[in-house]
Amino acid sequence: MLNNIGPMGLLLIAVVVLVLFGRGKISSLMGEVGKGITAFKKGVKDGTQEIEDAAADTARDVTPEKDKDKA
């Protein structure tokens, strides 16, 4: 369905959106989209770091349970 939209169709859609919402509303909407993307990237990075930290904690202690009290 969307394969048939050419450059002129996209331009027409952009003009209609600009007329309907105005430049200020579109600008604030794009700002909110940018903040959302930034927050998503930060969340993914924090989650990845948390997983790596947990894996590092389990990998550090390789002493068998029966030998831990001897040290």
- How does pLDDT run across 19-67, given as a tens digit for each residue? 888 888 888 888 999 999 999 999 999 999 998 888 887 766 666 777 6
Query: Which phi-psi region, left, alpha or beta, contains residue 22 (left: φ > 0; alpha: ψ -120 to 50)?
Result: left
| Residue 46, pLDDT score | 94
Sign of CA dihedral 42, 47, 51, 53: positive
| Residue 4, pLDDT score | 78
In angstroms, the CA 19 to CA 12 distance is 11
In angstroms, the CA 71 to CA 47 distance is 34
Model confidence at 18, in pLDDT bands (50, 70, 90)? confident
Asked whether residue 69 carries a pLDDT value surpassing 70, the answer given is no
Q: pTM score > 0.85 for this model?
A: no
